[in-house]
Structure 1
C-alpha cells in the first residue's frame, strides 16, 4: 500500500474512537494522533530527511474581543507581529525601529482578513471566543524586513528532534509522541514556523538510548540515536514535574534545563516553575533564535553572483524540477543558464547572504548532493552538486 494511503488509514483508525469523547478531549487527542502518524511516516521514509517545507508563514490567527475598529486594529497589529517573528525566526525583530513603526499600520501589509467564532461545541455559550484570521502579503513583509535590515528565513526549515527525560513521583521516563506534552510542543513550534519531532521510542530507539542518557545529556548518545530521524537540530532536556501524572495538565509545573545541540555547539536555558505552554514557548524561542542565525538570509550581506554546477540533469523534466527547487530557496534571487555540457548544467545565481548560507540552504533538501572535491572535473566551479529527483 502506498505511504499516503497507509498513513490515512492509520490516522482514521486512531481518530475513529474519538467520536465518543467530549470535543475538547477529541481536539487534544487528534493533535497527538496526527503527531504519531507524522513520526511513523519518518520511520518508513529514507534516511536523511533534513527539512520540512513550512506552510502558513505569512498567515496568522489571533483572538479578538470584538470587531470594532480599535479592537480589529489591535488584533491586526498582533497578527503582524507574530508573522514577522515567524519569518525572521526570532522575537528580537519586534524591537527594531522600522518594525515598530510598521506595527502601527498593519493594514498596509494585509492581503485579506476575516473573523471566525470558537468551535461548534461552544455555540450555545454567551462568551464564544472570536478570532481574526489574516493573510499577509509575503512580498510586502519581505520588503519590510529588508528595509529594517532583518534577515529572512524561508519556508525550508530543519526539523528539531526533542529528547526529554521527565521525572514525576520519583520515576523518570523519556517523552514520546503518544503523550500530551508533544501536542503542546507542536502548537508552540507551529506558531514559530518550526518543524518539531518526538522519538517513536520503539525497539530501535530503546536499543540506542536510555533514560539515563537523556537525563545526563550525553551528547554522543543523543546524536547517535537521532541519526535515523535525519535531524541536525536536537533539543534535549531534564525536567522535574511538580504534580503527579493524574493531575490536571494545566496545573503541572516543570523545573530543569533545556539544551539545544546544533553543529557541535550547545546552548542551554533554565526552566523554573513553568507550565507546559510556557515551557514549550521557551523551547521554541531557543530553537528559533539559534537556527535563524544560520539559515535566515540578510539581503544587505549580498555576495553577488555565484556559479552553481549541477551534474545529472538528464532531461527537460529534470531541469524544470531543478529550477522549481531553486526558486524556493530564499537566498537565491535569480537563476540564469551559463553553459550546458551533456547532463551537466552551469547556473549563474544572484544570491543574498553568503555562499556558506547558500550551501546550508541547499543541504536542507534531498535533491542536491555536493560532489566530493576530489571528483570535481572543473576546479573553477564555485559550487558543484549532483541532482537526484
Structure 2
C-alpha cells in the first residue's frame, strides 16, 4: 500500500519516514514466504527445472488462494504451464553426502506478477495476515482409552498437522495439554465436542478459530470421526470417514482452510470502486506508537493507501482507501489484536464509515 500523508510538517514527515524504513512489522499471525517454495529435484537440467517451476507455482497458488478449486481455473492452468515467467529468483542447495545426497531447488516467485494474474482472473488473494486455528484432537485407542493430543504427544497425526500448516501457510496451534488444559477439557468432554467447554478451554490461547475433532478406528480399519468448527459466532459440525490418517486429517483441515480463505481473501476485481473509511485511534501516546500504528495498518493487504488527517494529542485520524470492504478491514484489525474497538463501539461497518479504535500494543 502507499502512504500519502496530508499533514506535511517536519515532525510528521520524520515519523512517516520512520514508519516506512525502520518500524518493526512483526504482528501475530503473519505468515511469511508465501511466494517461496523449495523442492527436491533429480538434477539441474532444463527439463527438471521447468518441471519444478510448475510444481512450485502450483503450491504457491494454493497457499496464496487457500482453495484447491482455483487450481482448476483456466487462467491458473495457463500460468502454471508458463511458470518460468513468474520466477523471480532461483538457487540450488544440497544435503547429505555420497549416495544419500539430495539436491533441492529454491524458487521465489514475483508476488506482483502472481497477484496480478490472480486478480485479472477474478481470483481472491489471501493476505499473509492470517487467522489461527486451535486444534483439539481426541483419539480413541484399541483399548477404548481416549487422549486429547497435546503439542508434546507422540502421535502421527501431529506431524501431519504441522506439515499441512507449513505447506498451506495456515497457523495451526496445538494445545499444550498441561494441568490447566486437562482440568478445563477432560478427554471425555473433548470427545463429546461440548461447545461451551471447548470455548472456555480455548480462551487462554486467543485463537481466531477452533477446530475440534474425534477419531476412532473401526473394526474394519476405517477411521471414523466427527468435527466441530467454531469461527466467530458460527458453529459447523461435519463427519469424516477415511481409510488412512493422512486423508482423514487432510480432508478436515482443507475444509476449514477454504472457509477461512473465503472469508478473508480479497477479490480486487469484485471491488472496482475503492471504499473510503475514516479510522480514529486513541491511545497513540508517543512517536513509537505512531510509527507502529502506521506500519501495522500499512501491512494489511486490504489497505490500498492512507493519509493522516488529524493529530490531536494521543488521538490520530487516518483516511484509509480500501481494496476490499470496510467489514473485511475490521476483520483484519481483529486478527492483529493491536487495535480494539473504542467509543462508540463499531464492530463492523460504522455509520458514515467512521471507525473508532484504541491502540493497545
Please confirm whether the aligned pair reaches a TM-score higher than 0.5, indicating the same fold: yes
Q: Do structure 1's residue 67 and structure 2's residue 48 form an aligned pair? A: no
Give distance in 2, aligned partners of 1:363 and 1:206.
Answer: 28
Count of paired positions:
326
Q: CA RMSD in A?
A: 2.4
Give distance in 2, aligned partners of 1:381 and 1:256.
Answer: 45
Shift of 1:285: 0.9
What's 2:211 paired with? 235
Which deviations, in whole Å up to 9, do the C-alpha atoms of 1:85-110 show, x marking residues without a partner?
11111111111121111111111111
Q: Secondary structure in 1 aligned to 2:270?
A: coil
Residue among 179, 201, 224 paired with 1:255: 224
User: What is the TM-score of this pair, normalised by structure 2?
Assistant: 0.83
Q: Do structure 1's residue 173 and structure 2's residue 147 form an aligned pair? A: yes
Residue among 301, 305, 316 paired with 1:330: 301
What's 1:266 paired with? 236
Give distance in 2, aligned partners of 1:285 and 1:83.
Answer: 15
Residue among 117, 125, 135 paired with 1:162: 135
Q: Is the 8 A contact 2:226 2:237 kept in 1?
A: no
Residue among 333, 342, 354 paired with 1:382: 354
**Gap runs ≥5 in structure 2:** 1-26
Q: Is the 8 A contact 2:276 2:353 kept in 1?
A: no
Give distance in 1, aligned partners of 2:80 and 2:345.
Answer: 52
Shift of 1:241: 4.1
User: What is the TM-score of this pair, normalised by structure 1?
Assistant: 0.78
Q: Is the 8 A contact 1:90 1:292 kept in 2?
A: yes
Shift of 1:269: 4.7
Give distance in 1, aligned partners of 2:298 and 2:222.
Answer: 45
Q: Secondary structure in 1 aligned to 2:336?
A: coil
Give distance in 2, aligned partners of 1:379 and 1:171.
Answer: 54
Which deviations, in whole Å up to 9, do the C-alpha atoms of 1:186-223 show, x marking residues without a partner?
11111100011111111111111121222121111111
Give distance in 2, aligned partners of 1:292 and 1:51.
Answer: 17
Map 1:100-139 → 2, pairs under 5 A: 100-117=77-94, 119-120=95-96, 123-125=97-99, 128-139=101-112
What's 1:320 paired with? 291
Structure possessing the higher relative contact order (Cα contacts under 8 Å, 6 or more residues apart) = 2
Q: Is the 8 A contact 2:277 2:353 kept in 1?
A: no
Give distance in 1, aligned partners of 2:249 and 2:47.
Answer: 31
Q: Is the 8 A contact 1:301 1:354 kept in 2?
A: no
**Gap runs ≥5 in structure 1:** 1-49, 244-251
What's 1:194 paired with? 170
What's 1:286 paired with? 255
Give distance in 2, aligned partners of 1:75 and 1:257.
Answer: 37
Q: Do structure 1's residue 357 and structure 2's residue 328 form an aligned pair? A: yes
